[in-house]
């Protein structure tokens, strides 16, 4: 057998590399296509495990590679920015809330995929999902998760203070005052995290307050209704919560409930799902009730998440096939089940899924959809709303008032910040 | 019969001449390389290319972006210095970030200087297990910052804080402190972690400086009756000053531009009370997508750091 000399090796390798660079075609041995997706690290880890299984199944059926990467929720925005700036990265990307609007020009239209799925699941779609992902007449992402955000509470603690599950935010405050006295406060983040916005928008709408008018340009923070919201937060913070809520991340309230310390949080059902999964005794004590109402009605701000396909992807059709596969009835049923009540697709068709009909503690969740609104409402989702959220203006406004700033000054501060955002956004 | 198999006298002559030509080329190349200025430039070239590619190019791009209203995924229009002016004149989160950065940097660098020098003096003694101790001191510097800060996150956690547990058991406090939920405690927390992280750099570098001081100077001072403080004041400190200047210079730059510690512990909160330039630039530029404004925030660090570098290098050069 002839031995390869060093000179021959370097010559062949250089020629091969030059060929690959010149023709931009890798050798046949490396040509197996791979479709990739990037999403969050799910609060219910079983859901990500099921996604991995489904991708393996897809890879076998289509004879391609399929991979899903996961990053913590707060890092998704950074990854999206990096991928779109470099025009490189994953084929599919998870977007939530206003992010689809932000990247609308860089996303492939999914009208054909949604059209096919609508034939199966119908066109009865939750309005806030359509608002988030149907942009300028085109579907830009396919919604995979909108978690309802009910009240999560410890039944034993509420019984201990002689309270039932709260129906309104006033009930939360009343019960919270008693609960804090027995060492089991209410827990709502007022910090730099997504849950802090979620609950702020929910409370604001329930009190009839707005951040922007429906035109998306007129600032509406400075109002008696918003003053009521801030005053409510101040009372809740001092009489029913502990200062820890100012430091929490998105999982802070989950940990507090599952540790048996907090008696009430406003959150998707992930604490319960995790407690069941890890066989924590607290699972028996946790229950859920409808998101609280206020003087202006019952509303909440779901984090609607979906997958979109980058225009720069080299596997657009394959990525669409993957979406078709993941949303195929048998696969979607399994994926929803794995989320243990957390994963709710945008079609009301799925309200009949057994996950919400076997466990009485989850039965209320599908009906919550009617209370959901996209952040910014009554304004439509927009880049401006996204920046308001990403700069944490609203929780900071509340935190300033809690920290001693007058309600009037806090609203003036919030107004100034939003004014600046509007002025600097094209 | 082919020409190749029956070379003409001319081609035979050419093939005989070829090695000689090659030899001449190599010899001339060798002579060129022996010129100091040519070799010098050649040796510096890889570093220059790296600096241009990894520092100068991104810096110029950032400079350009800071002068535009670029939003992520979209090009921006040139707006001159508007980003800088509006940040400075109108954005109170930015002004708070500026104050935070100054407080964070000055406090952390001052504490690290005092503790680092003390630690270096201690390590310079003939202790038992000297090598083991010196190695152990380096651990906070060796562990990846994001990882070690996660450990600190748990130590400051509102539910599971081991610091609170200890203080409660010792009777120092009667209720757990909200380390990361109270503005001034959160600042103390991030400074503490920065000091913990940066101390080994000070200690080991100053130790190297201490080791280079001639022991005869101390012996002479001792025989003249100088006590420990006098020896430190008149021998150690003056001779250590150039090393100290360089260490403080590096530490100031690294502390001013810190990101990991604040991002992992507080994400700039509560109420922006721990935001530094790097974390605020990240939040505005990458999270919120305002790339132009984010670049402007990041570039605000540049003139401050440039002045610090100039002053300290000027001082160090004078001392050396």
Most confidently modeled of A167-176, B7-16, B135-144? A167-176
Report the C-alpha gap between A323 and A251 in whole angstroms.
29
Q: How far is A174 from chain B (nearest CA, A)?
A: 24
Q: Which chain B residues are Cβ-neighbours of A391 within 8 angstroms? A: 93, 283-284, 288
B293 → closest Cβ in A77, A191, A424: A424
Q: Which of B65, B90, B285, B289 to mutate to test the interface with A (most CBs of A within 10 A)?
A: B289
- Are A176 and A72 part of one and the same domain? no
Who contacts A395 (Cβ-Cβ below 8 Å, separation ≥6)?
Answer: A189, A190, A191, A192, A196, A197, A200
pLDDT above 90: residue A426? no
Using DSSP, state whether A184 is helix, strand or coil: coil
- Are A182 and A248 part of one and the same domain? yes
Inter-chain residue contact B179 with A425, CB threshold 8 Å = no
Report the C-alpha gap between A282 and B93 in whole angstroms.
41
Note whether residue B79 is domain-resident: no
- pLDDT tens digits, residue range B222-235? 998 889 899 999 99
Q: Which chain B residues are Cβ-neighbours of A102 within 8 angstroms? A: 72-73, 289
Note whether residue B82 is domain-resident: no
- Are B172 and B111 part of one and the same domain? yes
- Are A244 and A183 part of one and the same domain? yes
- Are B176 and B304 part of one and the same domain? yes
Question: What are the structure tokens assigned to A24, written together?
Answer: 């931009």
Q: How far is A293 from chain B (nearest CA, A)?
A: 27
Q: Chain A residue with minimal CA distance to B180?
A: A247
- Are B55 and B190 part of one and the same domain? no
> Is the separation of the CB atoms in A247 and A191 below 8 Å?
yes
Q: What is the 3-state secondary structure (H, E, C) of A53-117?
A: HHHHHHHHHHCCEEEEEEECHHHHHHHHHHHHHHCCCCCEEEEECCHHHHCHHHECCCHHHHHHH
Most confidently modeled of A43-52, A286-295, B82-91? A286-295
- C-beta neighbour count of B314 within 10 angstroms: 11
At residue A22 the predicted structure's pLDDT band, cuts being 50, 70 and 90, is low
Q: How far is A420 from chain B (nearest CA, A)?
A: 8
What's the confidence (pLDDT) of residue B5? 46
Q: Which chain B residues are Cβ-neighbours of A413 within 8 angstroms? A: 92
> Is the separation of the CB atoms in A175 and A264 below 8 Å?
yes
Q: Which residue has the higher pLDDT, A17 or A266?
A: A266
Question: What are the structure tokens assigned to A267, written together?
Answer: 């959150």
pLDDT above 70: residue A362? yes
Report the C-alpha gap between B98 and B79 in whole angstroms.
23
Question: What are the structure tokens assigned to B247, written together?
Answer: 């260490």
For A25-39, A97-111, B277-291, which range has the lowest pLDDT when averaged over its residues? Answer: A25-39
- Are A250 and A395 part of one and the same domain? yes
At residue A4 the predicted structure's pLDDT band, cuts being 50, 70 and 90, is low
pLDDT above 90: residue B317? no
Q: Which chain B residues are Cβ-neighbours of A248 within 8 angstroms? A: 158, 181
B91 → closest Cβ in A193, A255, A420: A420
Inter-chain residue contact A102 with B283, CB threshold 8 Å = no
DSSP A187-213: E---SSSHHHHHHHHHHHHHTT--SB-
Q: What angle do CA B147, B150, B153 make, to 5 degrees?
A: 160
What's the confidence (pLDDT) of residue B1? 40
Q: Which chain A residues are Cβ-neighbours of B181 within 8 angstroms? A: 191, 243-248
> Is the separation of the CB atoms in A250 and A224 below 8 Å?
no
- Are B133 and B240 part of one and the same domain? yes
- Are B55 and B98 part of one and the same domain? no
Please state whether the peptide bond connecting residue B270 to the residue before it is cis, i.e. omega within 30 degrees of 0.
yes
- Are A395 and A255 part of one and the same domain? yes
Using DSSP, state whether A14 is helix, strand or coil: helix
Inter-chain residue contact B180 with A247, CB threshold 8 Å = yes
Note whether residue B77 is domain-resident: no
Note whether residue A256 is domain-resident: yes
DSSP A384-407: HHHHHHHTTHHHHHHHHHHTT--H
pLDDT above 80: residue B315? no
pLDDT above 70: residue B319? no
Radius of gyration of chain B (CA): 29
- Are A140 and A159 part of one and the same domain? no
Q: Which chain A residues are Cβ-neighbours of B62 within 8 angstroms? A: none
- Are A135 and A38 part of one and the same domain? yes
Report the C-alpha gap between B240 and B232 in whole angstroms.
10
Instruction: Label residue A346 exposed, middle or buried (CB < 10 Å: 0-12, 13-18, 19+).
Output: buried
- Whole-Å CA distances, B129 to A41, A97, B135, B212: 45, 58, 10, 21
- C-beta neighbour count of B223 within 10 angstroms: 8
- Are B143 and B56 part of one and the same domain? no
pLDDT above 50: residue B308? yes
- Are B146 and B191 part of one and the same domain? yes
Length of chain A: 426
- Whole-Å CA distances, A368 to A43, A150, B41: 20, 8, 70
A100 is in which domain, residue-wise?
A: 34-147+303-356
- Are A122 and A243 part of one and the same domain? no
Pick the last residue of a domain from B34, B66, B98: B66
- pLDDT tens digits, residue range B12-71? 555 556 677 777 888 888 888 888 888 888 999 999 999 999 989 999 999 999 999 999
Inter-chain residue contact A246 with B178, CB threshold 8 Å = yes
What's the confidence (pLDDT) of residue B135? 83
Q: What is the mean pLDDT of residues A356-363?
A: 89
Note whether residue A350 is domain-resident: yes
ipTM computed for the complex: 0.81
CATH code of the domain containing A53? 3.40.190.10
Radius of gyration of chain A (CA): 24
Q: Which chain B residues are Cβ-neighbours of A244 within 8 angstroms? A: 158-159, 178, 181
- Are B21 and B164 part of one and the same domain? no
Note whether residue B26 is domain-resident: yes
B283 → closest Cβ in A105, A191, A391: A391
Q: How far is B192 from chain A (nearest CA, A)?
A: 17
Question: What are the structure tokens assigned to A125, written together?
Answer: 């779609």
Note whether residue B242 is domain-resident: yes
DSSP state of A182: T
- Are B205 and B115 part of one and the same domain? yes
Report the C-alpha gap between B40 and A387 in whole angstroms.
51
Q: How far is A412 from chain B (nearest CA, A)?
A: 12
Q: Which chain A residues are Cβ-neighbours of B159 within 8 angstroms? A: 244, 255-256, 259, 261
What's the confidence (pLDDT) of residue B268? 92
Q: Which residue has the higher pLDDT, A64 or B310?
A: A64
A77 → closest Cβ in B182, B287, B291: B287
Q: What is the mean pLDDT of residues B177-203?
A: 93
Inter-chain residue contact A424 with B86, CB threshold 8 Å = yes
pLDDT above 90: residue A414? yes
B277 is in which domain, residue-wise?
A: 88-319
- Are B21 and B127 part of one and the same domain? no
- pLDDT tens digits, residue range B137-189? 888 888 888 889 999 999 998 778 899 999 999 998 888 888 998 899 999 99
Q: How far is B108 from chain A (nearest CA, A)?
A: 22
Q: What is the mean pLDDT of residues A16-28?
A: 62
DSSP A349-379: GGGG-THHHHSTTTTTTGGGGGGB--TTTTS
At residue B3 the predicted structure's pLDDT band, cuts being 50, 70 and 90, is very low
- Are A333 and A248 part of one and the same domain? no
How many structural domains are present in chain B?
Answer: 2
Inter-chain residue contact A246 with B73, CB threshold 8 Å = no
- Are A206 and A58 part of one and the same domain? no
- Whole-Å CA distances, A369 to A128, A342, B223, B230: 9, 13, 87, 77
Rounding to the nearest 10 degrees, give the CA dihedral for residues A404, A406, A411, A412: -110
For A24-33, A327-336, B267-276, which range has the lowest pLDDT when averaged over its residues? Answer: A24-33
Note whether residue A23 is domain-resident: no
Q: Which of A256, A399, A424 to mutate to test the interface with B (most CBs of B within 10 A)?
A: A424
Report the C-alpha gap between B87 and B280 in whole angstroms.
12
> Is the separation of the CB atoms in A41 and A48 below 8 Å?
yes
Note whether residue A162 is domain-resident: yes
- Are B60 and B94 part of one and the same domain? no
Note whether residue B289 is domain-resident: yes
Note whether residue B74 is domain-resident: no
How many structural domains are present in chain A?
Answer: 2
- Are A275 and A166 part of one and the same domain? yes
- C-beta neighbour count of B305 within 10 angstroms: 16
Q: Chain A residues within 8 A (CB-CB) of chain B?
A: 74, 77-78, 80-82, 84-85, 102-103, 105-106, 191-193, 242-249, 252, 255-256, 259, 261, 383, 386-387, 390-392, 396, 399-400, 403, 413, 416-417, 420, 424-426
Q: Which of B270, B278, B290, B294 to mutate to test the interface with A (most CBs of A within 10 A)?
A: B270
Q: Which of A386, A372, A208 is nearest to A297 (CA)?
A: A208
- Are A288 and A331 part of one and the same domain? no
Q: Chain B residue with minimal CA distance to A103?
A: B73
Note whether residue B76 is domain-resident: no
Q: What is the mean pLDDT of residues A23-48?
A: 79
Strands A286-289 and A92-96: unpaired
- pLDDT tens digits, residue range A253-309? 999 999 999 999 999 999 998 899 899 999 999 999 999 999 999 999 998 999 999
What's the confidence (pLDDT) of residue B39? 86
Residue with tokens 């940990």: A255
Q: How far is A416 from chain B (nearest CA, A)?
A: 9
Question: What are the structure tokens assigned to A17, written together?
Answer: 């590399």
Q: How far is B283 from chain A (nearest CA, A)?
A: 7
Q: How far is B106 from chain A (nearest CA, A)?
A: 24
In Å, the largest CA–CA distance within chain B is: 107
What is the overall mean pLDDT for chain A?
A: 92
Inter-chain residue contact B267 with A383, CB threshold 8 Å = no
Report the C-alpha gap between B211 and B243 in whole angstroms.
12
DSSP chain B: --TTTS--HHHHHHHHHHHHHHHHHHHHHHHHHHSHHHHHHHHHHHHHHHHIIIIIHHHHHHHHHHTB--BTTB---B-TTHHHHHHHHH-HHHHHHHHHHHHHHHHHHHHHHHHHHHHHHHHTS--TTHHHHHHHHTHHHHS-HHHHHHHHHHHT-TTT-HHHHHHHHTTS-SS---TTTSHHHHHHHHHHHHHHHHHHHHHHHHHHHHHTS-HHHHHHHHHTT--HHHHIIIIIHHHHHHHHHHHHHHHHHHHHT--HHHHHHTTT-STTTT--HHHHHHIIIIIS--HHHHHHHHHTHHHHHHHHHHHHHHHHHHH-
- Are B62 and B92 part of one and the same domain? no
Residue with tokens 């391609």: A64
Question: What are the structure tokens assigned to B7, written together?
Answer: 């070379």
At residue B320 the predicted structure's pLDDT band, cuts being 50, 70 and 90, is low
Q: Which chain B residues are Cβ-neighbours of A403 within 8 angstroms? A: 183, 271
Q: How far is B4 from chain A (nearest CA, A)?
A: 25
Q: Which of B77, B95, B288, B294 to mutate to test the interface with A (most CBs of A within 10 A)?
A: B288
Q: What is the mean pLDDT of residues B233-250?
A: 90
Secondary-structure percent of chain A, ordered helix, strand, coil, rounded to 5: 50, 15, 35
Inter-chain residue contact A74 with B267, CB threshold 8 Å = yes
Work out how many CB contacts closer than 8 A connect A with B. 113
Q: Point out which residues pair with A100 in neighbouring strands.
A: none
């Amino acid at each position: 057998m002839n031995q390869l000399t060093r000179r021959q090796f370097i010559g062949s390798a250089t020629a091969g590399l030059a060929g690959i660079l010149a023709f931009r075609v890798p050798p046949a041995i490396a040509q197996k296509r791979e479709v990739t997706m990037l999403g969050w690290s799910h609060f219910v880890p079983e859901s990500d495990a099921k996604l991995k299984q489904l991708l393996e199944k897809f890879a076998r059926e289509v004879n391609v590679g399929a991979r899903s990467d996961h990053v913590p929720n707060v890092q998704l925005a950074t990854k999206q920015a990096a991928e779109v700036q470099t025009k490189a990265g994953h084929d599919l990307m998870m977007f939530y809330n206003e992010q689809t609007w932000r990247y609308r020009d860089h996303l492939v239209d999914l009208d054909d995929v949604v059209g096919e799925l609508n034939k199966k699941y119908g066109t009865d779609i939750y309005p806030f999902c359509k608002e988030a992902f149907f942009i300028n007449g085109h579907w830009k992402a396919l919604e995979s998760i909108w978690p309802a955000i009910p009240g999560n509470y410890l039944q034993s603690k509420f019984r201990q203070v002689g309270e039932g599950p709260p129906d309104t935010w006033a009930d939360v405050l009343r019960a919270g005052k008693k609960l804090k006295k027995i060492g089991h406060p209410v827990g709502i983040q007022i910090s730099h995290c997504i849950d802090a916005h979620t609950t702020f928008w929910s409370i604001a709408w329930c009190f009839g307050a707005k951040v922007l008018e429906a035109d998306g340009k007129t600032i509406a923070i400075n109002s008696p209704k918003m003053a009521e919201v801030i005053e409510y937060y101040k009372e809740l913070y001092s009489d029913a919560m502990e200062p820890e809520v100012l430091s929490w991340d998105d999982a802070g309230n989950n940990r507090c409930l599952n540790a048996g310390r907090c008696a009430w949080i406003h959150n998707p059902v992930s604490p319960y799902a995790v407690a069941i999964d890890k066989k924590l005794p607290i699972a028996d004590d946790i229950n859920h009730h409808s998101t609280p109402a206020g003087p202006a009605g019952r509303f909440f701000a779901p984090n609607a998440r979906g997958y979109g396909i980058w225009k720069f992807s080299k596997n657009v059709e394959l990525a669409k096939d993957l979406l078709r596969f993941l949303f195929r009835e048998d696969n979607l049923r399994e994926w929803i089940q794995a989320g243990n009540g957390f994963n709710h697709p945008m079609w009301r068709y799925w309200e009949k899924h057994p996950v919400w009909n076997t466990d009485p503690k989850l039965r209320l969740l599908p009906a919550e959809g009617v209370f959901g609104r996209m952040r910014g409402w009554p304004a439509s989702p927009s880049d401006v709303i996204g920046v308001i959220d990403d700069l944490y203006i609203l929780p900071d406004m509340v935190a300033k008032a809690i920290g001693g700033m007058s309600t009037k000054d806090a609203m003036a501060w919030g107004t100034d910040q939003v004014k600046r955002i509007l002025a600097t956004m094209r | 019969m082919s020409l190749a198999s029956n070379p003409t006298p001319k081609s035979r002559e050419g093939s005989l001449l070829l090695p000689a030509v090659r030899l001449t080329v190599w010899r001339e190349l060798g002579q060129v390389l022996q010129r100091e200025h040519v070799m010098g430039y050649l040796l510096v070239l890889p570093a220059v290319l790296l600096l241009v590619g990894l520092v100068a190019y991104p810096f110029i791009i950032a400079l350009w972006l800071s002068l535009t209203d670029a939003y992520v995924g979209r090009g921006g229009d040139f707006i001159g210095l508007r980003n800088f002016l509006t940040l400075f004149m109108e954005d109170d989160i930015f002004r708070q970030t500026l104050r935070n950065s100054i407080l964070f940097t000055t406090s952390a660098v001052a504490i690290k200087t005092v503790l680092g020098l003390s630690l270096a003096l201690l390590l310079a003694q003939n202790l038992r297990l000297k090598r083991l101790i010196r190695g152990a001191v380096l651990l906070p510097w060796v562990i990846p910052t994001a990882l070690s800060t996660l450990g600190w996150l748990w130590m400051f956690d509102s539910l599971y804080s081991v610091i609170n547990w200890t203080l409660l058991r010792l009777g120092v406090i009667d209720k757990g402190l909200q380390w990361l939920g109270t503005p001034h405690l959160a600042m103390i927390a991030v400074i503490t972690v920065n000091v913990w992280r940066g101390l080994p750099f000070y200690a080991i570098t100053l130790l190297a400086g201490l080791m280079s001081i001639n022991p005869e100077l101390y012996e002479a001072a001792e025989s003249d009756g100088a006590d420990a403080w006098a020896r430190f004041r008149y021998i150690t400190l003056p001779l250590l000053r150039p090393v100290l200047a360089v260490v403080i210079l590096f530490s100031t730059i690294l502390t001013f531009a810190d990101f990991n510690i604040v991002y992992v512990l507080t994400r700039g909160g509560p109420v922006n009370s721990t935001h530094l330039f790097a974390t605020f630039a990240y939040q505005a530029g990458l999270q919120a997508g305002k790339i132009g404004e984010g670049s402007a925030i990041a570039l605000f660090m540049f003139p401050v750091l440039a002045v610090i570098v100039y002053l300290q290098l000027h001082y160090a050069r004078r001392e050396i």
